[in-house]
């Protein structure tokens, strides 16, 4: 990739921590996050990036609390919708490549085969709608050099995530019900970060999907987390893990019932293989 300056936006977040950890040695990473750097401040974004002149901007910043977005739509649209547009405008002006992360929640979840990169989005939540607005802001900016990567069910070090939530609850309770009628693909942030660096080594710009290989429901994901925790000898109070339906666990935001992403384009362009979700979970247990 050669010597390159990278502006990492949302640098304190979960995915960003792995983007930093797995960066090629020749890149120089400059970190930006709240409170010093606010993605919603268009003027500050433009000035900061114009003075740094990075060849690459990686946007890991977002308002990621899916249910929180339902009660604060204006902030969701500012951060997830308009923020990426400010980055795209800056990238276009200074000739940088923009990497942006989006989500499976831009889809309705009514298909029964993996979503292709050009399938029509139809988000069912404020989070999904605001992330779609961010995608559109980049597409409408006229920027040509961008990688827009949709992913799903992220977990990894340095963040709140489903794996950590299940481990905490399994240490506190003896009975747990987890939804079994939402199906998707868990994604280890280490694998996604590696995929982003792989894409950056190409000049095949555009929209991509990346998640770990395979599929499961949240219930099956939880069952595997518990199984691996037991293998690691973690002390757990949990005796019973039960499958429940979405309607039995009402949350403010509607989630897609089916959100598998087709990774065909990523596989074709990079020629890389994608780790199976169970194997990646095992690698996470080995380092956490
Ligand atoms: N987590 C998932 O399951 C999931 C699934 C699919 C897609 N994604 C997407 O993947 C990307 C990375 O997600 P993640 O889970 O790593 O996110 P994360 O851990 O929540 O990190 C996001 C970072 O962005 C920062 N941020 C929020 N508002 C900002 C603003 N106005 N200006 C600058 N920085 C701001 C946050 O700071 P504060 O903590 O101070 O707010 C945080 O450090 C996001 O685009 C997300 O939409 C995530």
DSSP character string of 90-149: HHHHHT-EEEEEEEGGGS-S--SSPBPTTSPP---SHHHHHHHHHHHHHHTTT--SEEEE
| 181 — pLDDT class (breaks 50, 70, 90) | very high
* CATH value of 4-160+188-213+259-275 in 3.30.70.2190, 3.50.50.60, 3.30.70.2860, 3.40.50.720: 3.40.50.720
Instruction: Transcribe 178-214 into DSSP letters.
Output: EE-S-EE--EEHHHHHHHHHHHHTS---EEEE---BS
> What pLDDT is recorded for position 3?
84
pLDDT tens digits for 57-92?
A: 999 999 999 999 999 999 999 999 999 999 999 999
Bridge partners (DSSP) of residue 177 are: 242
pLDDT tens digits for 4-53?
A: 999 999 999 999 999 999 999 999 999 999 999 999 999 999 999 999 99
Query: Is the pLDDT score of 152 beyond 80?
Result: yes
Q: Is 188 a catalytic residue?
A: no
Q: State how far the Cα of 85 lies from the Cα of 69, in Å rounded to an integer.
A: 19
Residue 12 Cα: closest atom of ligand 1 = 43
3-state secondary structure of 175: strand
Residues 6+ apart with CB under 8 A from 147: 97, 98, 99, 100, 196, 199, 200, 205, 206, 208
3-state secondary structure of 56: strand
3-state secondary structure of 243: strand
Chain mean pLDDT for the chain? 97
Q: Is the CB of 13 under 6 A from ligand 1?
A: yes
Among 62, 109, 123, 138, which is best to mutate for testing ligand 1, by the most ligand atoms less than 8 A from CB? Answer: 62
Query: Is the pLDDT score of 1 beyond 80?
Result: no
Average the pLDDT over 126-131 and give the result.
98
Q: Is the CB of 152 under 6 A from ligand 1?
A: yes
> What pLDDT is recorded for position 147?
98
Residues 6+ apart with CB under 8 A from 98: 56, 57, 59, 87, 88, 91, 138, 143, 145, 146, 147
CA of residue 63 to ligand 1 center, whole Å:
6
> What pLDDT is recorded for position 208?
98
Query: Is the pLDDT score of 126 beyond 90?
Result: yes
Instruction: Transcribe 57-81 into DSSP letters.
Output: EEE------HHHHHH-HHHHIIIII
Q: Which pairing describes strands 216-217 and 183-184: parallel, antiparallel, or unpaired?
A: antiparallel
CA of residue 1 to ligand 1 center, whole Å:
26
> What pLDDT is recorded for position 130?
98
> What pLDDT is recorded for position 49?
98
Q: Where are the domains of the chain?
A: 4-160+188-213+259-275
CA of residue 11 to ligand 1 center, whole Å:
9
Among 64, 125, 209, 280, which is best to mutate for testing ligand 1, by the most ligand atoms less than 8 A from CB? Answer: 64
Q: Is the CB of 63 under 6 A from ligand 1?
A: yes
Q: How far is CA 282 from CA 47, 161, 173, in A?
A: 43, 16, 23
Query: Is the pLDDT score of 259 beyond 90?
Result: yes
Q: Is the CB of 270 under 6 A from ligand 1?
A: no
> What pLDDT is recorded for position 64?
98
Residue 40 Cα: closest atom of ligand 1 = 31
Residue 103, both tokens: 């989500």
> What pLDDT is recorded for position 230?
96
pLDDT tens digits for 194-245?
A: 999 999 999 999 999 999 999 999 999 999 999 999 999 999 999 999 999 9
CA of residue 207 to ligand 1 center, whole Å:
19
Q: Is the CB of 45 under 6 A from ligand 1?
A: no
CA of residue 101 to ligand 1 center, whole Å:
9
Query: Is the pLDDT score of 2 beyond 90?
Result: no
Query: Is the pLDDT score of 140 beyond 80?
Result: yes
Active-site residue, selected from the candidate residues 115, 127, 219, 284: 127
């Amino acid at each position: 990739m050669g010597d390159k300056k990278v502006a990492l936006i949302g640098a304190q977040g979960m995915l960003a921590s792995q983007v930093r950890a797995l960066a090629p040695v020749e890149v120089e990473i400059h970190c930006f996050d709240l409170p010093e750097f606010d993605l919603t401040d268009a003027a500050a974004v433009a000035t900061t990036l114009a003075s740094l002149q990075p060849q690459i901007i990686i946007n890991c910043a977002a308002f990621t609390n899916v249910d929180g977005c339902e009660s604060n739509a204006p902030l969701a649209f500012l951060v997830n919708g308009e923020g990426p547009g400010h980055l795209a405008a800056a990238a276009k002006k200074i000739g940088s490549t923009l990497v942006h992360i989006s989500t499976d929640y831009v889809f309705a979840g009514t298909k029964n085969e993996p979503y292709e990169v050009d399938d029509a989005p139809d988000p069912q939540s404020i989070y999904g709608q605001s992330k779609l607005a961010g995608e559109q802001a980049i597409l409408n900016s006229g920027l040509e050099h961008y990688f827009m990567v949709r992913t799903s069910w992220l977990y990894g070090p340095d963040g709140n995530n489903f794996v950590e939530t299940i481990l905490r609850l399994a240490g506190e309770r003896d009975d747990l019900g987890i939804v079994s009628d939402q199906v998707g693909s868990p994604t280890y942030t280490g694998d996604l970060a590696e995929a982003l660096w792989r894409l950056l080594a190409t000049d095949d710009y555009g929209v991509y999907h990346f998640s770990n290989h395979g599929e499961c429901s949240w219930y099956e994901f939880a069952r595997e987390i518990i199984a691996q925790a037991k293998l690691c000898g973690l002390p757990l109070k949990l005796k019973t893990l039960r499958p429940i339906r979405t309607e039995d666990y009402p949350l403010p935001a509607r989630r897609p019932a089916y959100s598998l992403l087709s990774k065909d384009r990523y596989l074709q362009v990079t020629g890389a293989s994608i780790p199976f979700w169970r194997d990646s979970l095992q690698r996470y247990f080995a380092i956490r």
